[in-house]
Amino acid sequence: MVATGRPSATAAPTTTTPPKVSIAKRIGLGGGLLLALGALAVLAFFSIALGSRSITIGTVFDAFFDPSAISPDLTVIRDMRVPRTLLAIAVGAALALGGTLLQGVARNPLADPGVMGINAGAALAIVTAIMLIGVQSAGGYVWFAFIGAGISTVLVYGLAATGREGATPVKLALAGAAVTAVFSSVTSAVVLANVDALNEMRFWQVGALSGRFMPVFWQLAPFLIAGSALALFAGRPLNTLALGDDVARALGQPVALTRSILFAIIAVLCGAATAAAGPIAFLGLMVPHIARFICGPDYRWILPYSALLGPVLLLACDITGRVVTAPGELQVGVVIGIVGAPAFIALARFRRLVQL
């Protein structure tokens, strides 16, 4: 028999499309999303009600339903806790979605914004702004951090895309590690030579939601909302990329273009989130795996679950940091690190938990 090289009409592999989800499972997954949304609403309320300053539940309701009421407690709620809660929701969703996209694009189950040089680029930009311009506030250096994160992302993807094979997962990881090493070294050198830069960087590098008022939220809200909306529609392309580049091309997927678009969305999400709250580690790493454990490998479900579970985890850690050390406060980046380190070890130890 002579092979003609033509694909057989009946030989289409059944593994090239995501598994069909039964109606019962869809109802169950939809119910899970509603539960996650309810948990987010409850935690948002506690985030506004709880803190180092004791405020009654009645005062919390007055802050929303009685605009004419004025008191120091109402000022704390309206000017500090509400912006902090909104920022936690937006940043949590952005980091979780960015981590999900990054793991799908790079096909690396341990990928997060820190691996791809995003945090290092933002840190270098902030140090430069402090040293050259004298910026000393979160609202002042937020744009520099955003631009630095974007530049590092473009640089990582540009380095990985060189060559015949394009931006393969291995090249993305290597380029991210190289850019992170270079930027971190330059940042350390500048910080050691500049006391003002050192003091500002110590606070920013912890990862915090405190001290970020409503202007910071409004500055970055368009990027966070637009990036999150675009990410939620990336389920099908990610499902196709998960099958491998060769299969994706055979199915008509423009692999290079798809990766470029998804990487741009990652830059917007992680860059804006890092600029707003600092380099919050582990959240973009853990949440996609939690979502994958709940709903399976279909990115059409992983993405919406990540968008809800990210803020849930971030708010829970932020509330914990305020309540446990009251009347002081433990920054959310520290709490996430305490929770995330064991989770990272578990992901690296048990390989079956990190299969994409």
pLDDT for 171-222, tens place per residue? 877 888 898 889 888 888 877 877 766 776 777 777 888 877 888 888 888 8
Helix or strand or coil: residue 253? Answer: coil
Residues sharing a CB contact under 8 Å with residue 24, sequence separation 6 or more, in sequence order: none
- The tens digit of pLDDT for each residue in 128-176 reads 887 777 776 666 677 887 888 888 888 888 888 787 777 777 787 788 8
Task: Tell me the pTM.
Answer: 0.85
195/84 Cα distance (integer angstroms): 28
Give the pLDDT of residue 13. Answer: 40
Give the pLDDT of residue 55. Answer: 82
Report yes or no on 65 lying in a domain.
yes
Percent of the chain with pLDDT over 90: 23
Report yes or no on 33 lying in a domain.
no
Reply yes or no on whether the pLDDT at 80 is more than 50.
yes
The per-residue pLDDT of the chain, averaged, comes to 82
Report yes or no on 1 lying in a domain.
no
- Structure confidence at residue 301 as a pLDDT band (50, 70, 90): very high
Report yes or no on 6 lying in a domain.
no
**CA distances to 39, 53, 298 from 26, in Å:** 20, 43, 12
Give the pLDDT of residue 8. Answer: 44
CATH label of the domain that carries residue 324: 1.10.3470.10
Reply yes or no on whether the pLDDT at 352 is more than 70.
no
Give the pLDDT of residue 109. Answer: 80
Report yes or no on 4 lying in a domain.
no
Percent of the chain with pLDDT over 70: 87
Report yes or no on 263 lying in a domain.
yes
Residue 163 per-residue DSSP state? S
The more confident residue out of 294 and 353 is: 294
Q: What is the DSSP string of 222-249?
A: HHHHHHHHHHHT-HHHHHHHTT-HHHHH
Number of domains in the chain: 1
Cα 20 to the chain's mean position, in Å? 28
Please give the average per-residue pLDDT across 236-254, as a whole number: 88
Give the pLDDT of residue 2. Answer: 45
Residues sharing a CB contact under 8 Å with residue 223, sequence separation 6 or more, in sequence order: 146, 268, 269, 271, 272
70/59 Cα distance (integer angstroms): 10
Report yes or no on 21 lying in a domain.
no
276/195 Cα distance (integer angstroms): 23
Give the pLDDT of residue 267. Answer: 84
Give the pLDDT of residue 5. Answer: 46
Report yes or no on 67 lying in a domain.
yes
**7 token code pair:** 């694909």
Give the pLDDT of residue 314. Answer: 95
Please give the average per-residue pLDDT across 115-130, as a whole number: 82
Domain of 282 in residue numbering reads as 38-354
The more confident residue out of 326 and 138 is: 326
10/17 Cα distance (integer angstroms): 15
